[in-house]
Structure 1
Amino acid sequence: MNVDHFSNWLFTEGKATKTIESYVNDVKGFQSYLQEKLKDKPVLSRFSFVRYKEHLIKEGYAFSTINKKINSLKVYNDFLTTKGVVNELFIQLRKDRIKY
């Protein structure tokens, strides 16, 4: 599933255009990170998510920005689960969001 499928799914779910663009950009950033740093195929897993979150913290992103990206990836995880690409939820907002 590529980000175009994700974008179309968000649209059918009734998300606003700006929200869709934001989610898609966050997912593309995650996929870019995986390809550059981990040399992995950009697949969402608990391991890849935790590494990405650590990377964002290390790079000095604001907590609110990191939490926004976490939210986007949670929605992406929901999409992948709905489509049967993955069979579990790797991101739990209560546990994974940064508290500040």
Structure 2
Amino acid sequence: MRIVKIIVKVILLPVRICLTVVQLMVMFVTWLSATVFHILSGIICITAILSYGFGQETCKGVFQMLLVGFALYILPVLSGWAVVWLETIKISLKGD
């Protein structure tokens, strides 16, 4: 039984290496998109609130801009969940 576990670990080693590389790439893209999207969503939300405050936009337009700002804010969070999911798969493949 011990030999079977060692053979399975050796066979799954390339899969774990690939998952690690994919996870690192997704982490980098998540960091980069989080930086850009959080700045953009902040600008959009501030613009929406100020345009309503100065009477440049209706309530419906402000709501739409706030939805876009929220969508840009939530995208990096979703990709962060993908990183956690990949780590969970790696841990389950390790099988210690």
TM-score by length of 2: 0.33
Question: TM-score, length-normalised on structure 1?
Answer: 0.32
Greater Rg, structure 1 or structure 2? 2
**Greater relative contact order (Cα 8 A, min sep 6): structure 1 or 2?**
2
